[in-house]
A and B are shown apart, each in its own frame.
Chain A
Amino acid sequence: QKEVEQDPGPLSVPEGAIVSLNCTYSNSAFQYFMWYRQYSRKGPELLMYTYSSGNKEDGRFTAQVDKSSKYISLFIRDSQPSDSATYLCAMSSNAGNMLTFGGGTRLMVKP
């Protein structure tokens, strides 16, 4: 079993749809949870950052962490074609900064 599981997609949605991206994990020591967005031929860029359980909202993006279920989500409201990218979840414990990444979900938002 992989330490972090993420559906690779691709996920294709129409413009304006609400998008839900998810990751599950097995290591209960993970405390820090991040979402990175990676456009084609670019490096990943940090999109959302949360510590422990709870929700965090930033504009059209909401990150949720449910540590009891070992499940994290990223919601994108009013999705735009410019949101088309690969979304990577990443997480780490307090020990060092060895982020463990999911394999990424490719999202396509069609106009």
Chain B
Amino acid sequence: ETGVTQTPRHLVMGMTNKKSLKCEQHLGHNAMYWYKQSAKKPLELMFVYSLEERVENNSVPSRFSPECPNSSHLFLHLHTLQPEDSALYLCASSQEQQGGTPLHFGNGTRLTVT
């Protein structure tokens, strides 16, 4: 098992659909993150969880809803998305949520909204 596993790898959904992205980390880390990566733009931090508590919600629209049931699992629930939400969604984890702690990324879910 790789350190951070994301499923599905690819997802195509209509604007009225509801879907969920899943992330699982096998590193024993205490913090987990969702990032959005769009073409020609820097990685955008969406949500941060530390010890299962949300500590950051970076002005993300409510059509994105995170869930962290335990320190190893992170979900991103999606509903009524827009075409501009099409992007690579990356999950990451770190040992602690402290300055300078490196992030370990999964390989992402490529989302296409039609």
Residues of A participating in the B interface, judged by any CB pair closer than 8 Å: 2, 4, 8, 31-32, 34, 36, 41-46, 49, 51, 88, 90, 92-104
Q: Does B105 contact A (CB under 8 A)?
A: yes
In the complex, what residues of A have CB within 8 A of residue B103's CB?
A: 44, 46, 97, 99
Contact A4/B40 with A49-B102, A98-B56 known, Cβ cut-off 8 Å: no
**Residue interface bits B95-110, CB-to-A below 8 A is 1, else 0:** 0111111111111100
- Report whether B104 and A97 are in contact in the complex, using a CB–CB cutoff of 8 Å: no
11 contacts between A and B (CB under 8 A): A36-B105, A42-B108, A43-B6, A44-B90, A45-B105, A49-B102, A96-B97, A97-B98, A97-B103, A99-B103, A103-B41
- Residues from 72 to 114 in B contacting A, C-beta threshold 8 Å: 90, 92, 94, 96-108
Please report the number of residue pairs spanning A and B whose Cβ atoms sit closer than 8 angstroms. Answer: 67
Q: Does B27 contact A (CB under 8 A)?
A: no
Residues of B participating in the A interface, judged by any CB pair closer than 8 Å: 4, 6, 31, 40-43, 45, 48, 55-56, 90, 92, 94, 96-108
In the complex, what residues of B have CB within 8 A of residue A2's CB?
A: 42
- Report whether B42 and A101 are in contact in the complex, using a CB–CB cutoff of 8 Å: yes
Interface of A is mostly: loop
Chain B residue nearest in CB terms to A95: B99
- Report whether B106 and A43 are in contact in the complex, using a CB–CB cutoff of 8 Å: yes
- Report whether A43 and B97 are in contact in the complex, using a CB–CB cutoff of 8 Å: no
Chain A residue nearest in CB terms to B91: A43
- Report whether B105 and A94 are in contact in the complex, using a CB–CB cutoff of 8 Å: no
Contact A32/B42 with A43-B108, A97-B31, A98-B56 known, Cβ cut-off 8 Å: no
C-alpha spacing A51/B107, complex, angstroms: 26
Chain A residue nearest in CB terms to B4: A43
- Report whether B100 and A51 are in contact in the complex, using a CB–CB cutoff of 8 Å: yes
- Report whether B108 and A96 are in contact in the complex, using a CB–CB cutoff of 8 Å: no
The 7 A-B residue pairs with the shortest CB-CB distance, nearest first, are A32-B100, A43-B105, A94-B99, A101-B43, A101-B42, A43-B107, A103-B42
